[in-house]
Structure 1
Amino acid sequence: MDLSHLGTPTGPMVRVHGGFANRMYRLDTDRGSFAVKELNLVDRRWPYHAEDVFRFERAAFTAGIPMPEPVSAGHRVLVHRWVEGETMPEAPVTPAYAFEIGEILARLHALDTGWTGAAVDGPAARDWPGLAARARATGQPWAAELTSRAGTFVAIADFVDTCARPGPVVVTHRDIQPWNLLSHRGRPVVLDWELSGPLDLSGELGSTAFSLAKGPGFDDIRPAVFHAVLDGYVAGGGTLPPWGPGWFAFLIGGWLGHTRWNIVRCLAGVETGSGPDLALSRESARDGISGLPVLFARLPALLELLRP
């Protein structure tokens, strides 16, 4: 990759492990420190709209959204200024932190950047029984569990595709999760913007608020944190959409697609040289197969627990 526009390196580029979709490196040069993201081009789940995303990022950065400065974007490589901060654990954030995230979302949704690319999402896959058969044939450790739950995953796909979304559609980050956030002096910094695009507002609010309000499982969900995101959104000038299952359709659909993608990577059984390491795909597949049906079963209770 040609990174000459970033200056003269002062040391080797260093791999930063942990990404769920792409590969990240830190590069220090005489012009500063940069986060260099090598996009996965081997088995991406959808096309990357580089020009739209970069325009959205630049508008957000100019508007004062706390985020790394976007430097350049191409077909294969994204570059941002390196930002120091504390990584966020998979645990409920403080209500103050959640409130500020809600304000950030309201400010993002007020930007008028437009979007020229096609819609990001397509229909949910329904080939779960076939994937289960392939898992058994290749001796995957979670083959029996996937086989027993293949029908549940088809039902989840039906829910994702048929659940009503109240609107409106906004151009937004689409992936504000603990692993895409830093804490800098107790304040949020939003990372990893490459999944940005149009999304139903309820899906963005539900996914964001839920991810910040929960611990590693589903037994530690803090309604006060969930509601703090919504309060921050209203305080920032946003209007909440009608409450209903559509608030969680994007969250569930995203996890469904992520689980299937990692299952397919495990079935291939080889390192692709792009995207997450195979060991991380195995972990993500296992977590999705065991965890997603639990979340889906608890959806009615969650709607009551988290009702605004």
Structure 2
Amino acid sequence: MELSELGVPVGPMVRVHGGFANQMYRLDTERGAFAVKELNSLDRRLVYRAEDVFRFERAAFAAGVSMPEPILVGPHMLVHRWVEGEKVPEEPVPAAYAFEVGQILARIHSLDVAWNDDPGAEPVARDWAELAERAVATGQPWADDLRSQVGTFLAIAEFVDTCERPGPVVLTHRDIQPWNLLAREGRPVVLDWELSGMLDLSGELGSTALSIAKGPGFDDIEPAVFQAVLDGYVDAGGELPPWGPSWFVYMIGGWLGHVRWNLLRCLAGVEAGAGPDLALSHDSVRDGVHGLPDLFGRLPRLVEALRSGA
């Protein structure tokens, strides 16, 4: 992709660290500042549908969704106009911010964008015992913790594989988390649309609402913030799906797949040349080995505690 279309650079591209899947750079030119994302095409969990996602983003931006303007797309790169804003910490956001996130979701779900059939959900892997033994054999720092949780990880895989999703299925962002949000003058800006696609509505609402209603763990959950997302969704014309465990299965399943993907990168033991740095992959595995069993064990109480919100 020809970045010359963005204008004459006024300095070199600068790496922006911290991405979980791709690598980001900032490029300043005579025409402004741009976020240039180098897409990881070496070991993605799912095929990245760059053109489809870019078309979806353009429709969302045209509809007034608060997000960076999509500028260019290529096989291995994506460019947006740079947006200044404050990072959203992993802690309960203000209720007014959560309400606007709910409104944004409703606006996204109302878009009339053609979408080709998705290739299907990522298969639920059940090779956790084998991976734990490989981790022990290669001296991974989290290996013993993983081995002690193999039974729990298999139970999580079974839940993800068998949990009933009530529908409807919507075209949506699929990854609205604190690290994919900015706060600009106290209002949300939605970043990183690469995972966009079709998803059961309950999974999208539950994942989004819980992620911005809690702290780094699950001891600090604000039900009022969770409720504010749903109130915003209804206020903007959305209709809530039936309540139940399906509201959290997408978050659990996505985290499970993310942990396994990073685990395989750690077992390889080398920098892959794309995607997150190896140290970040180790952090992701360590967090998942502790956090996923914690979330799964709390699921019945979580569903009951937040029932009034839905």
By the TM > 0.5 criterion, same fold?
yes
Note if 1:288 corresponds to 2:284.
Answer: no
**Residue 298 of structure 2 aligns with which residue?**
298
Q: Secondary structure at the match of 1:302?
A: helix
Q: Does residue 195 in structure 1 map to residue 191 in structure 2?
A: no
Give 1:43's aligned residue.
Answer: 43
2:153 is the counterpart of 1:160: no
| Structure 2 Cα separation of the partners of residues 86 and 231 of structure 1 | 24
Following superposition, the deviation at residue 180 of structure 1 comes to 0.3
Partner of 1:77: 77
Distance 1:119 1:180 in 2: 24
Any conservation in 2 of the 1:49–1:117 contact (CA below 8 Å)? Answer: no
Aligned-CA RMSD value: 0.8
- 1:228 equivalent to 2:228? Answer yes
Where 2:71 maps in the other structure, the secondary structure is strand
Deviation at 1:75, TM superposition (A): 1.3
Q: Is the 8 A contact 1:17 1:24 kept in 2?
A: yes
* 1:237-285 residue CA offsets vs partner (Å, 9 max, x unmatched): 0000000000001000000000001111110110011000001000000
Q: Unaligned 5+ residue runs, structure 1?
A: none
Matches within 5 A, 1:73-222: 73-119=73-119, 121-222=121-222
What is the CA distance between 1:122 and its match in structure 2?
2.2
Distance 2:158 2:70 in 1: 38
Please report the TM-score for the alignment, with normalisation by the length of structure 2: 0.98
Question: Does the CA contact (< 8 Å) of 2:118 and 2:198 recur in 1?
Answer: no
1:268 corresponding residue in structure 2: 268
What is the aligned-residue identity percentage? Answer: 73
Instruction: Report if the CA contact (8 A) 1:34-1:79 is conserved.
Output: yes
Aligned residue number for residue 279 of structure 1: 279
Q: Indicate whether 1:68 and 2:60 are aligned.
A: no
One-letter code aligned to 1:137:
A
Following TM superposition, by how much is the alpha carbon of 1:117 offset from its aligned partner in structure 2, in angstroms?
4.5
How far residue 121 of structure 1 moved from its aligned partner, in angstroms, is: 2.0
AA in 2 matched with 1:65: V
Q: Secondary structure of the residue that 2:149 maps to in structure 1?
A: helix
For 1:122 and 1:264, the matched residues in 2 are separated by 16
- Tell me the distance in 2 between the aligned counterparts of 1:221 and 1:93: 10
Aligned residues: 308
Aligned-pair CA distance for 1:74: 1.5
Query: Over residues 11-65 of structure 1, what are the superposed CA-to-partner deviations in whole Å (9 max), with x where a residue is unaligned?
Result: 0000000000000000001111100000011111100011211111000000000
CA-CA distance at 1:72 after TM superposition = 1.1
Name 1:24's counterpart in structure 2: 24
Task: Work out the CA distance in 1 between the residues paired with 2:23 and 2:70.
Answer: 17
Counterpart amino acid of residue 105 in structure 1: L
Question: Is contact 1:23–1:38 with CA below 8 Å preserved after alignment?
Answer: yes
The more displaced of 117-126 and 214-223 is 117-126
CA displacement at 1:2 relative to structure 2: 3.2
Gap runs ≥5 in structure 2: none
Q: Which amino acid aligns with 1:37?
A: K
C-alpha spacing 1:202/1:261, structure 2 compared with 1 (3 Å): same
Taking the aligned partners of 1:228 and 1:118, their CA distance within structure 2 comes to 31
- Cα distance in 2 for residues equivalent to 1:41 and 1:123: 19
TM-score (norm: length of structure 1):
0.99
Q: Secondary structure at the match of 1:37?
A: strand
C-alpha distance in 2 between matches for 1:122 and 1:283 = 22
Q: CA separation in 1, counterparts of 2:33 and 2:142?
A: 41
Query: Which AA in structure 2 matches 1:111?
Result: L
